[in-house]
Amino acid sequence: MDMQSNVEKREHWSKKREYILASAGNVVGLGNVWRFPYLCYKNGGGAFLLPYLFFAVLCGMPLFLLETVIGQYTQEGTITCWTKLCPLAQGNEIISLYSRVYSIVLAWALLYLVYCFRDPLPWATCNNSWNTDRCVDITSANQTAVHSGNATIDWKLGNLTKSSVSEFWERQVLSISAGIEEPGAVKWEVLLCLLACWVACYFSIWKGVRSAGKVVYFTAVFPYVMLAILLVRGLTLPGAWEGVVYYLYPDPSRLAELQVWMDACAQVLFSYGVSSGSLITLGSYNRKHNNCYKDSLWLCALNSTTSFVAGFTVFSALGFMAYKQGIPINMVVESGPGLAFIAFPQAAAMMPVPQLWAACFFLMLILLGIDTVTITSSVIDMFPGQMRRPWRREVFLIVFCLVCFIIQISLTTQGGVYLFQLTDHYAANGACILFVGLLQCGAVGWGFGAERMCDVVEDMTGHRPSVFFKLCWRYFTPLISVVCFVGFFLDYQPLTSNEGYMYPNWAYHLGWVMALSSVVVAPIWAVSKICLRKTPPLTGRNLRQNQAQGGAGPSAATGLGERRKTG
């Protein structure tokens, strides 16, 4: 009896706004700030919004609602929730492990934040120990002053020069090696920043939703404040509107290219946070009768709006940078980490009081990337009798964070950025996320039953979902997922760096191993469950017997529908 009394009950959000803020902080992340604006510019400007909205409506929103409902209905994490819905769908959680690789981005941002308190900013000049003779001081007039002397160099000959901000990123922060086959030494500054990020992550979730629910009041709200401040500041800079026009100028001819549609699909999946398990976990801490239907629709709208507005913030700064340098905007646009760690720091260095704007930007990046309780909550739900005792969760979190930190030490080496790009490109790419989303739609739409899921939503919220979502869960989203999954392979290109570096063959093989590990576990789990099953198959007769006995999971959902019809 005493042992049972020591087991803590599963927690809930103390206030509804804690869930809203936590979900908003989860879905609005780094991809909204650095990925969407670049993809919009790259794939036809305003024309890119058409495929983006197409996938947002037919894939993003249905999957977002589906995962939120699953969490709230089962009151379980991303692993154990499927035991109440469709046990064969377990095993699709591997992809969430690879998302931990983005902790290194927070470490880079933290290191930049530390450097923001220097005057002048270290990336704004060429008078540093890491600079070379090719360095160009970005604060000099017309960008013609070169570190080695008074020679003038045309910026069109970009291969002959390096901006001071690029050299700071490559030679000081990363000390980048020649390739992934040359890992080099550990960068101790980055290592300490990575350790600080994991310590902050631990203390933000060490008491579960009790601590996370309080942390999100700051981590979720502050980035929006910073984004609004940077937006107002950016739009008032000279050259800003040229950047905005460049960002949104439509090129409808690009819609005929497969790459544009694949980029839109991947961006929606990344930014909506689907298939990673976080939406299921956050929803599982809701009260049973929370209106998750309305919450999901508002959160999806918030996500897409934030991505769109972030583009104005980024490209107004890029337009200003192009104006100051007297060069075309396409020469200052960078993709991926380059946009966050090269383009915007360079723009901030050209503004009045550069330390303030740079600090605001990197603090926003750090708070956008603060992690949630996804994996740890799932493990605790798997072993509630052991993990929900006093201090068990805290000890487990210490071990989990420590293991993740040790594994990620390899990312702090001189060749770590190559490993980061390899993992980002293969392990958690759009195709892997699509496959997990396809499994979820199949498990719910056909295994559990889309009609039953609608009954569940109506019983919990009092509102029946639109028939549109039922059609998406059964037909539209799985069909689009299959088509795009094939499209990703047709559009596949081996990973290369911005400098044209080709990875060795063993690195590509490692990438494919990581990609396959994200998708093959679920089918293997399903086959093993079928082969090892000792009970008869769930036929129509057995299903009726299970319902008559008041079974959980699908039977309970059917009971909801029957009570609604007879009542």
For helices 258-272 and 61-74, what crossing angle results, to 10°?
30
| Residue 272 and residue 303 in contact, taking contact as beta carbons nearer than 8 Å | yes
Residue 63, annotated as binding a ligand = no
Q: What are residue 135's DSSP bridge partners?
A: 162
Q: How many beta carbons lie within 10 A of that of residue 37, not counting itself?
A: 23
CA neighbours closer than 13 Å in the CB half-sphere of residue 309: 17
Residues in the chain: 567
Q: How far is CA 220 from its chain centroid?
A: 15
Find the DSSP H helices in 31-156: 36-42, 49-55, 61-74, 94-98, 103-115
The verdict on whether residue 221 carries a ligand-binding annotation is no
Element (H, E) at 555: helix 554-566
Is 371 known to sit in a ligand binding site? yes
Taking each continuous run of H as one helix and of E as one strand, the counts in the chain are 31, 2
Q: How many CB atoms lie within 10 A of CB 431?
A: 24
Nearest to 172 by CA among 108, 102, 103, 120: 108
How far apart are the C-alpha atoms of 323 and 241, rounded to whole Å? 11
| Residue of 301, 297, 294 lying closest to 460 (CA atoms) | 294
Choose among 215, 381, 371: nearest CA to 284: 381
Task: Name the packing angle between helices 16-27 and 292-325 (round to 10°).
Answer: 40
- Cα–Cα distance, 347 to 139 (Å, whole number): 10
Is 28 marked as binding a ligand?
A: yes
Joined together, the tokens standing for residue 239 give: 């050259």
Rounded (10°) CA dihedral 92, 93, 98, 103:
150
d(CA 312, CA 243): 8
For residue 32, say whether it is annotated as part of any ligand binding site.
yes
Q: Judge whether 25 is annotated as a binding position.
A: yes
Q: Which residue has the tokens 């977002």?
A: 64
Separation of alpha carbons 545 and 543, rounded Å? 5
DSSP states along 16-50: HHHHHHHHHHHHSSHIIIIIHHHHHHHTTGGGGHH
User: Alpha helix locations (H) across 151-275?
Assistant: 164-167, 188-205, 209-219, 221-235, 240-248, 258-272
Q: Which of 168, 101, 180 is nearest to 414 (CA)?
A: 180
Binding residue ranges: 25, 28, 32, 271, 303, 368, 371
Binding residue ranges for Na(+): 25, 28, 32, 271, 303, 368, 371
